[in-house]
Chain A
Amino acid sequence: MGKTIGIDLGTTYSCVAVLENGQAKVIPNKGGYLTTPSVVAFDETGKRLVGHLAKRQMVINARNTVYASKRLIGRRYDSPEVKKAKAMYPYEIIEGPHNDVRIQVSGQEMSLPEVEATILQEMRRVAEEYLGEPVKEAVITVPAYFNDNQRQATKDAGKIAGLEVLRIINEPTAASLAYGYGKKLDQTIVVYDLGGGTFDISVLEISEGVFEVISTAGDTYLGGDDFDDRIIDWLAETFQQQENVNLRKDRMALQRLKDAAEKAKCDLSSVPQTQISLPFIGTSDKGPLHLELILTRDKLEEITADLVDRTIVICEKTLDAAGLGTEEIDEILLVGGQTRMPKVQEKVAKFFKKAPRKGINPDEAVAIGAAIQGHALTSTEEEKKKDGEDLLLLDVTPLSLGIATFGGFFTKIIEKNTPIPTHAGHIFTTAADNQRAVKIIVLQGESERAAENELLGEFMLTGIRAAKRGEPEVEVTFDIDSDGIVGVSAKDLNTGQQQSITVTASSGLTEQEIQWMVDRSKDYEVELKSQGELGKVCSKLESELGKIEKALKEQKAQLPAGLEKETKKFIERARRIIEFGDLEEIKKLITQAPAVGERVKKPSP
């Protein structure tokens, strides 16, 4: 039952789409916007705010407003990216129990999957309100270059939000679906995806309804936010030179700088220069200070040149891996808001010796593609015939998977750009007589040195039968499923017995924690009700009803039967409305209640 929605869970903005009668539709939120800011905040009463509401109050409530959470999801607390974020972001980042990242807001601790779940829940709501029916299934997109930990954490977020995540798909791949759906193409294309927080590039061949990813690469810490940061740096430094005041120390000022930087960057995509004015941004001995600066497009391009160049280097490598020259590329798609920057378009065009394709919306293509894939997975043969489109996505794993071997080396077991789903076996044996366990360290990455790759987990292979060293043969199978998520299983080749594997180190949440968070997110609605305005008006109405009941009892003898019945009915209905928590109706009843009470006290003959 129900439709499958596609959700683009972005660093700065999220977007939801659905496929109706073969037509992809981006669903607007209550405010009429097609994208919703990926921002979650808590106000002073502990109430949760999501999207535009949260973004709007960011400046005055910087400490308790979480943005760009996607840059932290699935990362280890001690990673350089998290250290960088700790220095930049005004909200508090703390260490979780699995060396994972947690966020401390309004006195409560939240895991990253929970923060992302709040955004997903909001997107689900937007879809449900539009469709008028419950939504349970979703396809969620992630950057192609996300590793296993990040994918797993995103899937957990879906679970916490009460969604059944049918598939995690890669953002550039999704964009290619949005572009190629229903077009009967026979092309080789490149998707250049520079979003709010991540950069991806994928090379695909499209033919006979098959979308085959040939190679993919990226940088999960390179996006529009970094461009903003460069502007913030420039503003803060220039200001310090002029006024000798460091704005970075003031969280609120920093937040205002961030807002202004983002706005200026967007303006400069269409005009050659823009004025940034932030009155009362700081104070000195001489009184309040105002920031008044002009940023030109040239200056912006100068301070962000290396960021754009980094993406071009990755483009080159990816094309190499695909074994293709630029002349073999038929189309270049630009996805992600940052690709609106003229310099980005210019450099991409120069590298590929071809102008990128216009006409696909860089903010919406990914969500649309996710909805298309959701539909392709769930639709029946008849539906496919009706749609006239029968597509199949063949994606690859972006990173090599392997294990740490003696001497700190990394042995690859599944190479990057291998089509998924895939699996590979590897035989382990013991190094000592009667050794009963083997530890397997699973890593993802391209470096030859184990320590330079991402640690996915440490697995303990136990219960190996006692034997001479080298004799037991245990086959460990590594799986990468269609979500790009890694699984490990083991079998004793001599006995055919399945071996147990225990994860001894992983930054992910445990099954139990997820369940607990699922419950907490479901309970969150109630919390809201009791804390907010509703709670207050409910108790007000309740006390009015109490007064009427008291009067009823006192006046029982003199009351005409009709009036008594009518009054009781009023009370009964009011109680039901309180249960429903309908704010407007309760307010109306509060104004009506005194009159009802009066009539009981002074029944007119």
Chain B
Amino acid sequence: MSEPQKISPEAIPLLCEGVNIKSLDITPEEGSILVQLDGQLRVRHLKMMTGLEDDKLYAILQNLSQKGIIILHQSKPKPGAELKKPRLLARNLIDLKNIPTGPQFEELVNKLMDALNRVDYFQLLGVSQDAGRDEIKRAYYRLSKVFHPDRYFQKVEPEFRLKLQTVFQGFSTAYLVLSKDDRKKAYLAQIAEKGVEAAVEELRIDVAKKVYTGPKMKLGLNEDKEKQKDEKLKGIVDKIKQTAMGGQFQKAERIYQMALTEVSKKNFKSARTNLKLVLQLNPAGGEKYRAELERIDRIELELRGEVNFEEGRTAEESGEYQKASRSYAEALRVSPKNQKYLCSQARVMVKYLNNFEKGRALLIDLIEQDQKKADYFYLLGLAYHGLGQKRAAEVQLEKALQLDPKHRDAQKELKNLKRI
């Protein structure tokens, strides 16, 4: 392990494998740092948590690293570092005849993402340097047919889609250069002169590292306020740190437990305040606390939705349909996909308020969720009837009857419709 010249605040200290802390001869200060390491914590997090001075912290880390107890994993490699990686990818980057599916396909995409910064355009497209325009075009088309995001439209997670997009963009950039004779010539010249690495680096896809100096901005009042708020909060945290040096994590945990009690009592406001304080005290444990905050938001919302729904139901039973519809709408705002809410709202719209257009929209949402409920199709039939689209109404009512041949309302309505 070579020694880093200077420790970056972004570095992640990792405990070396096979080291038993208890058997080591270390200072209490070192020990207090070692127990914190979880493989995610960065140097700047440690600084915040321990409140140690830069020099002191760096000295401890340096020491531990020299003893071979920790290694400092650099999340940001120094420029040039990545170029030293072995060139894993040879000419045939992709075997188009054997495109894997599922997780292996994802792996391939990840591999390509990585390769984009390392291989030259010829390798990327899988063509030789003397390939003609037609051959280059064919290669590009075939790769596009596999990797273009449209091939996975609405079928993959947005995150993976973005990866596909980047990979596709890699191919299209390569194609744009290699398919034009003058650009291809210039690219070849660059490779000849500076080597592949430099060429790849220079023409990298999205890292046009031009520095733009923004126009001089006058800072508005709001930002000053924001700054003041930041400083105030920092002051409070500092105070707690001073009084409970080292013990702030325990304290954070205690406040967190208090917050949980408040949640169970449905005291959401004070629970939130507590959690925010906890976050300040122990930002490194933020995941857990933030999740709890989100959970509170959800619980509170769901409760509100249920209350609105009950109000709507009561109003509907007493014939106050406008009011019912408003309450259902409130409930839906909380949980837009709740079938119970959607169905009630649609029923009121179609049966009592004659708002067929809205009813129709709601029912389509519902049917998208569950295509086995005869009631939904029946109501959709009514909506179409209301909109004067008889054929559509008939089709929907027939669907309802297919699902539930004994659906009396649907039978009646269909008979009625056919008679007209």
Contacts and interface: CB of A to CB of B under 8 A. Distances in A.
Nearest to A530: B354
A496 B382 CA distance: 54
B145 A582 contact: no
A405 B391 contact: no
Contact of A392 (B148, B207, B355, B385): B148
Contact of B392 (A133, A526, A585): A133
B389 A439 contact: no
Given A425-B206, A427-B209, A435-B217, A526 B150 contact: no
Interface in B150-183: 150-151, 153-154, 165-166, 168-169, 172, 176, 180
B150 A128 contact: no
B188 interface: no
B223 A207 contact: no
A430 B148 CA distance: 37
Interface stretch (A247-255, A336-344, A415-423, A539-547): A415-423
Interface of A: 1-2, 125, 128-129, 131-134, 136, 162, 166, 205, 207-210, 212, 323, 376-378, 390, 392-394, 403, 405-406, 411, 413, 418-419, 421-432, 434-440, 462-463, 466, 470, 477, 482, 496, 519, 521-526, 529, 579-582, 584-585
A208 B206 contact: no
3 A-B pairs with the lowest CB-CB distances in the bound complex, closest first: A438-B214, A132-B395, A522-B358
Interface residues of B, number: 64
**Best-buried of A134, A418, A440, A463 by chain B (most CB within 10 Å):** A134
A128 B360 CA distance: 12
Given A129-B392, A425-B208, A437 B219 contact: yes
Contacts, number: 172
Contacts of B352: 579
Nearest to A133: B395
A422 B206 CA distance: 9
A436 B380 contact: no
Contacts of B217: 431-432, 435-439
Given A162-B361, A207-B137, A210-B144, A523 B149 contact: no
B358 to A, nearest CB: 4
A482 B392 contact: no
Interface of B: 10, 137-138, 141-142, 144-145, 148-151, 153-154, 165-166, 168-169, 172, 176, 180, 206-217, 219-220, 223, 226-227, 351-358, 360-361, 363-364, 367-368, 371, 380, 382, 385-387, 389, 391-392, 394-396, 420
B228 to A, nearest CB: 13
Contact of A431 (B213, B355, B356, B382): B213
A208 B135 CA distance: 13
Contact of A394 (B144, B226, B380): B144
Nearest to A411: B212
A422 B172 CA distance: 9
Given A421-B169, A428-B212, A428-B214, A134 B392 contact: yes
Contacts of A585: 420
Given A378-B154, A392-B148, A436 B223 contact: yes
Given A435-B214, A437-B217, A129 B391 contact: yes
A496 B42 CA distance: 12
A584 B417 CA distance: 12
Nearest to B361: A162
A378 B153 contact: yes
Contacts of B213: 406, 429-431, 470
Contacts of B356: 525
A382 to B, nearest CB: 14
Given A207-B137, A418-B172, 6 more contacts: A134-B360, A423-B206, A427-B212, A436-B217, A525-B355, A580-B385
A579 B150 contact: no
Contacts of B355: 522-523, 525-526
Nearest to A430: B214
A585 B166 CA distance: 60
22 contacts: A1-B367, A125-B387, A133-B395, A136-B364, A166-B153, A210-B145, A376-B150, A378-B153, A403-B212, A406-B215, A413-B208, A419-B169, A426-B210, A427-B211, A431-B213, A431-B216, A436-B223, A519-B358, A521-B357, A525-B387, A579-B351, A580-B385
Contact of A208 (B138, B149, B351, B363): B138
Contacts of A524: 357
Contacts of A522: 355, 357-358, 361
